[in-house]
Structure 1
C-alpha cells in the first residue's frame, strides 16, 4: 500500500477549519479516484498541552503510481487547491511506501 499523509498545523481559527474541512474538503477528497481508504483525526496530547499539529489525514492507495494518477486527476487537483482555503497554519504532505503492518 502507498499512503499520502497530510499534517495540518494549528490553524488561526479552528472552528473555521473544522467547518470548511467537514462541509467542503471531505467531499473533494472523496471524489479523488483510486483512494482505497481515507481517514482524518484531530491531534491531542497526553499532557494537555497544545500539540504542534492540529489534524492528520491519510489517503491510502494501492501503489505509488495510483497515488500519482489520483493526485494528477481533476479531482486530486481540486482537493489540493482547496487546502489554502482552510489550512491557515499550513500543511505538510508525506508520501509513504508502507511495508510493515502488524501486530
Structure 2
C-alpha cells in the first residue's frame, strides 16, 4: 500500500478551515480515483504545547502507479487546486509505503 499523507499547518481561522474541509475538500479527496482508504484527524500534543500540525489526512492507494494516476486525474488536480482555498497555513505532502 502507498499512502499519501497531507500534514496541514495551523490555519488562521480554524472554523473556516474545518467548514471548507468538511463540505468541499474532503469530498474532493475521497473522489480521487484509486483511493482505497481515507482518514483525516486533528492533532493534539501530549503536553501543553501546540502540536506541529492542525490536521493530518491520509489517502491509501494499492500501488505507486495508482497514487500517481489518482493525483494526475481531474479529481486529483481539483483537490490540489483547492488547497489554496482553505489551507492558508500551508501543507506538507509525503508518501509512505510498505
TM bucket (normalised to shorter chain) is over 0.9
Q: Secondary structure at the match of 2:47?
A: coil
1:56 is aligned to 2:56: yes
Per-residue Cα deviation, 1:25-80 (whole angstroms, up to 9, x for no partner): 11111111110000000000111221111010000000000000000000000011
Q: Unaligned regions of 5+ residues in structure 1, if any? A: none
How does the TM-score come out when normalised to structure 1? 0.92
Q: Secondary structure at the match of 1:22?
A: helix
| Residue number in structure 2 paired with 1:20 | 20
Alignment of 1:30-49 (within 5 A): 30-49=30-49
RMSD of aligned Cα (Å): 0.7
How does the TM-score come out when normalised to structure 2? 0.97
**Which whole-Å CA distance do the structure 1 matches of 2:82 and 2:14 have between them?**
16
Which has the larger Rg?
1
| Residue number in structure 2 paired with 1:81 | 81
The number of residue pairs the alignment matches comes to 98
